[in-house]
């Protein structure tokens, strides 16, 4: 039987998915397939394109291999452009003059970035953000640049801004609309999103129309706006939307949309039944779908059209769950809502935590029509299930967006979801599909993903997929996976063991050996913490910096108004008058709020990002070190005055506190650690509420462990009594290292001990009696951490390259004018919303 000639033009994500589905179909034998890819690269993951700047290679991002195409029996031609389609002759002419015949043609040509028609948009150093080749150009230009501007504040624009930020450029975003991401968020959500992004050091200019680009004075380019205001920059990246790559179809005479796009029907057929179109080039019901999920659904429908199947494309939900520059944004259904049609709106705004949530509910209050989230996507999965499955809302719909502490409803349980509930919209996987997979013998999250492809598209459903898999496996009496996330089939404890035993020193090596995919916001910071706990490298090294959260990235705790706190180490609370004066002078000179903490340190609040290097230079010059208040690490060792001054003291608690703090400074752990030393049983240092507490006795020291004064206070347990100082320190060394090796991510010592099989007695056997024979190894690991200690701020100040990230605004080192304070009790505090409106003048832009 002679095979039908099938040509697929385009080898992007949607085109590759079509070919995957075809290769798995019994009907594949009927076709001789040729694939034309204009790029030199095999289809790659554009959703995670910015990871290319975080150490990922083209091979890492690739969705398949050339060998795979050979195994499928498909002819793959990369670096090949289709020049023309002749519908009458059923041929495709290539740019090299070759002519190919076809019986069926699939257009998967995707889209191209829209560049506004601005005079000067073609200047050298004006680029777009779409392909790996584009990113190579951006990287090359960034080597000679210090500043960069992204034109476009939508999804793609913020992705591009994240990339420029990752290249250590002072970054700005210019958006024509009055807010960022205008399609996804409303005015309130946009204002909060802008605040959060600006707090990360990215300047945001909304309501700006660029009139022309010309030579700059201090920088390569000058952007002139509609009001003649200007912005200078070295690099410009256009990411202002996309347009369908429809020129082949247009020249071939296929029906086109008024604003572009190849018109298709529900079977993805164009006006020529032998030509199908899928993905961003296709116009269905006057809509272009710019997300990968709808493209995948088109690919499946197109395959059924070719193979006499019944599946059709009936539109797609454009709900999205995103993390842009580390900021959560979620949009479900009709997220804006039109009250004129009788819909009801519910809004929740937490100005302190910077969370915004909005519900759009039907007039009768029974159905969720849309939702909007900024700052916290933890509500997304529950809201998405109410929306996509038409579930009846509770009597008080607002409970779905309130915190549980304020009467909010708990997350929708897996049992409450029908089997038809969509879990993965990209691959159209339902709860029932997952359940059936597990009943068919798939015994792990990885096997379910392989069988269903769930969570392999945009990845937004990964957490809920794991919940469904765990729930169904537990219901069948199967062992539930403790994998840290979908990228690593290991627990935190297992990853720590692999890193330590195999001497793995960076995330990429670990991922290549034991992981898959590109990583996520769970595994990246977890691995960063483990690497620091094992090797104690500088956290801002190139191979580590992309794993850190905001606080570790800027070596300071970010506060509610986007400023930072400065917390130098004051070991044991002991400080000389000279150093105390330095702290006062720094606080005075930089106008910082000053507070003495419960951990016997002096915290300085209100430092702007660009001020941090100058502040720390003064402090380092005076002999201070970083206090690691920003890290999951040993924070403070509190003490009383002990036997030196106190008439009740029986041991020198201050000396021990200073020795302990200096010994363990910089030691990273699954969570923060706090110590205290009391000089007698009167317990003035409150040692029994700390992770590690020491109380002096007449014969030595009593050691208490796993106390917690946080949200769930826990009294520490007595671990050992009457220890001499050397034995005490050795015991603490081993306890800390055992906790670091065995605790889960973000688990305090209190919860760790409560959940540890065998509890306190087991830990005593391990530490005091060496029941596992690991104490020598624990000692050696602690010695290595102590040996490799460094003050991270001192290291940073010695690197001009690292200091580039500490700028508030592009083009200069000035303060952010949107950060304002008021005076209260003789010190500054962040202005509230009313005060900000009065203090920040409105500017027409």
Annotated binding-site ranges for siroheme: 684
Count of CA atoms in the C-beta half-sphere (13 A) of 532: 30
3-state secondary structure 216-262: CCCCCEEEEECCCCEEEECEEEECCCEEECCHHHHHCCCCECCCCCE
CA distance 475 to 479: 10
Identify whether the C-beta of residue 823 lies closer than 8 Å to the C-beta of residue 625. no
First and final CA of the chain: distance in angstroms?
68
Of the candidates 118, 29, 23, the one whose C-alpha atom is nearest the C-alpha of residue 67 is: 23
Binding residues: 640, 646, 680, 684
Count of CA atoms in the C-beta half-sphere (13 A) of 317: 23
149 strand-pairing partners: 172, 236
CA distance 722 to 681: 13
Count of CA atoms in the C-beta half-sphere (13 A) of 65: 5
The CA–CA distances, whole Å, from 289 to 39, 63, 190, 285, 752 equal 22, 21, 23, 11, 47
3-state DSSP assignment of residue 675: strand
Q: CB atoms < 10 A from the CB of 406, how many?
A: 10
∠ at Cα 839 (836, 842), nearest 5°? 90
Q: Is the dihedral of CA 456, 460, 461, 462 positive or negative?
A: positive
CA distance 845 to 832: 24
Distance, C-alpha 603 to centroid of its chain: 28
- CB neighbours of 97 closer than 8 A, spacing ≥ 6? none
3-state DSSP assignment of residue 186: coil
Q: Describe the chain by its helix, strand, coil percentages, rounded to 5.
A: 35, 25, 40
Binding residues for [4Fe-4S] cluster: 640, 646, 680, 684
CA distance 44 to 157: 20
Return phi, psi of residue 189, to 5°: -65, -40
Instruction: Name residue, tokens 């501007």.
Output: 149
Identify whether the C-beta of residue 638 lies closer than 8 Å to the C-beta of residue 597. no
> Virtual CA dihedral for 693, 696, 702, 704, nearest 10 degrees?
-10
Of the candidates 755, 744, 749, 756, the one whose C-alpha atom is nearest the C-alpha of residue 483 is: 744
Distance, C-alpha 460 to centroid of its chain: 12
């Amino acid at each position: 039987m002679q095979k039908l000639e099938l040509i697929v033009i385009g080898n992007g994500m949607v085109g590759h998915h079509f070919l995957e589905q075809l290769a798995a179909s019994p009907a594949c034998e009927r076709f001789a397939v040729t694939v034309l890819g204009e790029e030199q690269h095999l289809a790659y993951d554009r959703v995670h394109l910015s990871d290319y700047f975080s150490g990922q290679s083209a091979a890492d991002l690739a969705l398949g291999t050339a060998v795979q195409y050979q195994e499928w029996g498909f002819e793959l031609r990369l670096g090949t452009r289709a020049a023309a389609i002749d519908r009458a002759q059923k041929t495709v002419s290539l740019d090299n003059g070759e002519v190919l015949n076809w019986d069926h043609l699939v257009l998967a040509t995707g889209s191209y970035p829209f560049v506004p028609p601005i005079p000067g948009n073609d200047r050298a150093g004006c680029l777009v953000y779409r392909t790996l080749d584009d990113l190579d150009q951006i990287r090359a230009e960034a080597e000679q640049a210090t500043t960069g501007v992204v034109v476009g504040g939508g999804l793609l624009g913020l992705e591009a801004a994240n990339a420029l930020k990752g290249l250590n450029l002072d970054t700005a975003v210019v958006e024509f609309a009055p807010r960022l991401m205008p399609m996804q968020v409303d005015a309130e959500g946009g204002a909060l999103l802008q605040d959060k992004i600006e707090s990360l050091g990215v300047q945001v200019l909304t309501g700006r129309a660029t009139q022309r680009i010309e030579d700059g004075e201090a920088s390569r380019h000058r952007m002139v706006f509609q009001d003649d205001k200007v912005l200078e920059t070295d690099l410009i990246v256009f990411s202002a939307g996309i347009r369908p790559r429809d020129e082949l179809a247009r020249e071939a005479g296929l029906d086109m949309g008024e604003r572009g796009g190849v018109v298709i029907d529900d079977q993805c057929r164009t006006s020529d039944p032998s030509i199908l179109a899928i993905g961003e080039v296709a116009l269905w019901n006057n809509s272009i779908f710019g997300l990968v999920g709808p493209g995948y659904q088109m690919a499946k429908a197109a395959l059924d059209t070719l193979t006499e199947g019944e599946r059709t494309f009936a539109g797609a939900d454009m709900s999205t769950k995103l993390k842009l520059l580390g900021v959560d944004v979620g949009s479900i259904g009709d997220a804006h809502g039109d009250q004129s049609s009788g819909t009801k709106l519910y809004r929740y705004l937490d100005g302190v935590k910077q969370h915004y949530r909005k519900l759009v509910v039907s007039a009768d209050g029974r159905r969720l029509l849309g939702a909007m989230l900024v700052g916290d996507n933890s509500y997304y999965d529950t809201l998405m299930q109410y929306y996509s499955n038409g579930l009846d809302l509770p009597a008080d719909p607002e409970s779905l967006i309130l915190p549980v502490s304020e009467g909010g409803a708990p997350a929708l349980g897996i049992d409450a979801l029908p089997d038809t509930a969509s879990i993965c919209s990209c691959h159209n996987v339902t709860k029932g599909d997952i359940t059936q997979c597990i009943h068919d013998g798939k015994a792990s999250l990885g096997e379910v993903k392989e069988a269903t492809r769930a969570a392999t598209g945009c990845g937004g459903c990964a957490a809920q997929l794991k919940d469904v898999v765990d729930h169904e496996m537990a219901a069948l009496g199967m062992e539930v996976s403790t994998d840290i996330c979908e990228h690593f089939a290991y627990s935190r404890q297992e990853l720590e063991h692999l890193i330590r035993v195999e001497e793995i020193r960076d995330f990429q090596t670990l991922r290549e050996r034991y992981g898959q995919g590109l990583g996520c916001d769970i595994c990246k910071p977890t691995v960063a913490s483990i690497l620091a706990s094992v090797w104690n490298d500088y956290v801002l090294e190139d191979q580590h910096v992309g794993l850190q959260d905001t606080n570790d990235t800027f070596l300071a705790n970010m506060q509610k108004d986007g400023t930072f706190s400065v917390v130098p180490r004051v070991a044991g609370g002991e400080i000389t008058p000279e150093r105390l004066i330095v702290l006062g002078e720094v606080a005075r000179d930089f106008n910082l709020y000053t507070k003495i903490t419960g951990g016997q340190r002096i915290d300085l609040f209100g430092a702007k990002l660009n001020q941090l290097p100058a502040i720390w230079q003064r402090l380092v010059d005076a002999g201070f070190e970083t206090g690691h208040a920003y890290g999951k690490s040993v924070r403070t060792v509190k003490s009383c005055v002990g036997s030196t001054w106190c008439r009740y003291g029986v041991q020198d608690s201050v000396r021990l506190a200073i020795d302990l703090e200096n010994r363990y400074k910089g030691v990273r752990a699954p969570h923060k650690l706090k110590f205290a030393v009391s000089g007698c049983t009167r317990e003035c240092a409150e040692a029994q509420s700390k992770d590690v507490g020491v109380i002096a006795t007449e014969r030595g020291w009593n050691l208490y462990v796993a106390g917690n004064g946080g949200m769930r206070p826990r009294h520490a347990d007595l671990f050992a009594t009457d220890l001499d100082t050397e034995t005490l320190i050795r015991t603490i060394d081993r306890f800390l290292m055992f906790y670091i090796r065995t605790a889960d991510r973000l688990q305090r010592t209190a919860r760790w001990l409560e959940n540890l099989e065998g509890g306190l007695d087991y830990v005593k056997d391990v530490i005091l009696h060496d029941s596992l024979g690991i104490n020598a190894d624990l000692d050696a690991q602690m010695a290595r951490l102590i040996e490799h200690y460094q003050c991270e701020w001192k290291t940073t100040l010695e690197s001009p390259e690292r200091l580039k990230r500490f700028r508030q605004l592009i083009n200069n080192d000035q303060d952010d004018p949107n950060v304002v304070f008021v005076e209260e009790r003789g010190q500054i505090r962040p202005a509230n919303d009313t005060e900000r409106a009065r203090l920040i003048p409105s500017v027409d832009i």
